[in-house]
A and B are shown apart, each in its own frame.
Chain A
């Protein structure tokens, strides 16, 4: 029996755990890919978390306690994402979880969030179903596929007089969802299009590009996330598809990674991408503060807009805990539903009408940006444009 005593002691210590409502800190969970094909998003998240922590803790933390973040890796894999969320909910006992940038992972996490009744605020997973399912504990303060296509990509294609569209989309929940919505929009606008599906890990696009070339489109909507986008842009230029046809990166961040220009070279000129951040567009005072804080800490301008997205959702979570004054999930949900908070991309107010993707959803304004001589030029929407579209 004696030899089991250390085991019991260890178990007892473990079972005490380190709850999210511990003595001197309040823990908030973050889920996102720190490994896998989109590990770069994990890095963007880490930077955003560091700035958010400094900002919130400098103002006295939450309810007089310091904010602490526990960042669990999902690897971009739904099963890993679900267990990462479980760990945060059960072992760390966090009162709220934020983050995520993969729709497939998010769709797995929302089930766990709903089961364990832990509020989850998604920032960068765009699939409509995430909020459309109407889960009480799931919120999204970020783009949704329908919003991005209906308000930005669709009108951008129409207003700029593009005559034929090629869609190339990866085999993922995000790729499928955004393509379906785009096809619906294009049909309504009577703009002919072709769609090609590719594997998420594809490297060689020569065959696809030859098919695209045969159809002679004037714009290609590239719904490919990660390294694949760099391959696609370079190869499109090699086989002579671009810049005759412009390429619009439907996600954005891969076009902004530090090594974008090293990887794509001259083929990057005139490439378009979606973004929610631009050096010259500051919708709120806190947007300017974020920019300055980032520059001070990292010695460069922020590039990946997901750094700012994670910063926003941490602010939203902190605000909800502050107002609810407790770790109770229902109280936090009630507080989130009454959110009226300025973040870097505008004033957050969640939709409350169930049955559509707009339930528990707040979408920041987006921008279509074009690389012109290695400078980011906002070309859409017109009211935010800093230049004109070059074809």
Chain B
């Protein structure tokens, strides 16, 4: 029985982690209709920035995490201004550009940071005995709570603030929101930056648990896309539910069917959703 609780707990924790990795993709798709294939690379860069700021420059780990997110946010703004903006209106162009960018960034990471996995310092160490049933890593528990905090902040930002309203207005009707005085270029640029910062947030939170490597980005992007498709393109609630479903199925499937097919479960879900409910759990039917 303790094993079962362990699988479920891990499913929930990994689920929230999945959600935070995917939410940046969902945000950018929802608002800008741009699929950012370089999402995983932004995650990896943030992990490396956080590692080098804390280990090479000796800054406190928490400050390094915040600075790393800030740096990737700026990188996101720059990417939008130079590469994405000229592609507005043609989804295929932006798809190709972000795809090429992901390859370029992956190789740049290999060149700059080297091939070895790198891990920023833990904020906490050791493990906690959960209700006397099993041991669970403290860094994982902390990451879980930080992720929940970030998810709640994003929901608040989008639902309750003026900025959130403008973002939603642009995503619903770009032309009409322009007529109402919303500067949609600025909103797009900021949203892309925010999406990049969310990728970075996932990167800095998770790098102490899963050290980053230049080539680790593809599995991160893939997982994020599965969650986004499952939850529904552009739906933030969908991201959380999709992430949790994926985390749960992966863990219970690995436990009771086979550890070998952990990642195949994700693909089976993806295919089933695309066949029976292509707009996802919370997406809007086109």
Interface residues of A (CB under 8 A from B): 35-40, 42-43, 171, 196-199, 201-204, 206-208, 210-211, 214, 226-227, 230-231, 235, 238-240, 257-259, 262-263, 265
Contact = CB atoms under 8 A, between A and B. Distances in A.
Given A227-B117, A239-B127, A257-B116, A208 B3 contact: no
A115 B231 CA distance: 50
B259 A207 contact: yes
Contacts of B82: none
18 contacts: A35-B107, A39-B215, A42-B115, A197-B258, A198-B259, A199-B262, A206-B251, A207-B6, A207-B10, A207-B254, A210-B3, A214-B3, A227-B213, A230-B117, A239-B6, A239-B135, A257-B116, A259-B116
A231 B137 CA distance: 12
B216 A227 contact: yes
A42 B115 CA distance: 9
A265 B140 CA distance: 16
A238 B127 contact: yes
Task: Identify which of A36, A257, A259 gathers the most chain B CB atoms within 10 Å of its CB.
Answer: A259
A201 B115 CA distance: 15
B260 interface: yes
B125 A198 contact: no
A159 to B, nearest CB: 30
Interface of B: 3, 6-7, 10, 14, 55, 107, 110, 114-119, 122, 125-127, 134-137, 140, 210-211, 213-216, 219, 251, 254-255, 258-260, 262-263
Given A39-B215, A238-B127, A240-B135, A208 B116 contact: no
Given A35-B110, A199-B263, A238-B136, A231 B115 contact: no
Contacts of B110: 35, 39
Nearest to B6: A210
Given A208-B254, A238-B126, 4 more contacts: A37-B215, A39-B215, A201-B263, A238-B140
Given A201-B219, A210-B7, A265-B125, A196 B134 contact: no
Contacts of A202: 262
A227 B211 contact: yes
Contacts of A258: 116
Contacts of B136: 238-239
Nearest to B260: A197
Nearest to A196: B259
A266 B215 CA distance: 26
A231 to B, nearest CB: 6
A227 B254 CA distance: 20
A145 B28 CA distance: 48
A111 B140 CA distance: 46
A40 B118 CA distance: 12
A39 B259 contact: no
B62 to A, nearest CB: 18
B131 to A, nearest CB: 15
Contacts of A263: 117-119, 211
Given A39-B215, A207-B255, A230-B211, A240 B127 contact: yes
A90 B265 CA distance: 42
B10 A204 contact: yes
B117 A197 contact: no
Contacts of B258: 197
Contacts of A40: 115-116
Q: 9 tightest A-B contacts by CB?
A: A39-B115, A238-B137, A227-B117, A197-B260, A207-B254, A40-B115, A263-B119, A240-B135, A203-B210
B116 to A, nearest CB: 5
A87 B258 CA distance: 40
Contacts of B6: 206-207, 210, 239
